[in-house]
Structure 1
């Protein structure tokens, strides 16, 4: 949930394992109901010349949320495959046209090939599901709240700055 430094570093602490996840450290200086509010708070700290490299935003009470977008039908599956395949085909047709020097032939070849590929790549998995999942959805990882943690040596100062923000 955070834009952290490479290697999983934590505020005020050494890198414990290159690329390995490490639990956040620090004292909580504020808690927010949305990530946007937590981001706004850290931005306010940065505007106040606070050393934000000592700060971490932590999502707490994580939930995986699947939002259902609508029912899938054969018509929607095939239309989606047709459109995505056509775009892919146009892209490869244009690339082929740049390499060969001609544009119409490679563009048409790419378009037809892309449409065929798109139809196959969407209809086969849908047919294999046998109606077990006849809906489209998106998946998100969200938190119940977002805590702003700070290195203990600067926590009181950070808390004071955020108290003046009044979020």
Structure 2
């Protein structure tokens, strides 16, 4: 399955090209590996070829150089299935890379998959702590929806406010709905 990540590269026109990295969320290392010299974060050998015992020794970049989507507004770049990706990176024109943890606000399996927030994270330990806090908070909210104390819209509003409060001034938060 991989530790999937999306990478939004800022363009000179203020829009973004969004790329995919199968193992990009692993220890958030893309944050340090994407540079002007290595725009697709270097790479490595692929390992075993699918369905064979032979090695696939082709070098592959960490971020697929063919974008999934191009010329997106920032608002469109951050719309994706928050259940599927473990990290989101934004690369500025000056090659500053910001790492975000996608937090899905869904309280039921059929809830809107792009409702959530991107919370800035700094390293693997910070990511683990943020994920643990959010999972516990969302579990309580899910129980409240299951007991019909909150409806889905109120649950999203509540999670929105809790994430805002938790993040405070320490980190950037980008909300989607």
* Greater share of residues in helix: 1
TM-score normalised by structure 1 residue count: 0.27
Return the structure number with greater relative CO, CA threshold 8 A, min gap 6.
1
* Greater share of residues in strand: 2
TM-score normalised by structure 2 residue count: 0.26
Indicate the structure (1 or 2) with the bigger Cα radius of gyration.
Answer: 1
